[in-house]
Amino acid sequence: MSIYSSQDQNRIICDVFALHNHMRLSKVLDPAFRDIDSYSNFIPPEAFSDIESTQEVECMSTEEMTKVCDDITTSLMAARLQHHVS
């Protein structure tokens, strides 16, 4: 069980997405963004440090990942608004 309530987890996720979007829109010079932007299928090696499988991982395009992030943000904001209305 998480030490944070569902409401706090929801706020943290929304804040992280907002920060990410702000950094992208502000064109903050972040070395990690530079690496990711130069190779759209970039996955940092540490992402798979606990996986021993040789199974090939399907990669999403930048557009697909952007849509996923946007959909998550929209869903979280709708849930947050609904919670405040209730």
Rounded mean pLDDT for each run of 10 residues along the chain, 86 residues in total: 80 87 74 72 73 61 79 82 70
What is residue 1's predicted lDDT score, i.e. its pLDDT?
52
pLDDT for residue 81: 78
- How confident is the model at residue 38, as a pLDDT? 78
65 φ, ψ (degrees, to nearest 5): -65, -40
Measured CA to CA in angstroms, residue 42 lies from 21, 35, 39, 64 at distances of 19, 7, 5, 14
Q: What is the pLDDT of residue 39?
A: 74
Residue 86 is predicted with a pLDDT of: 60
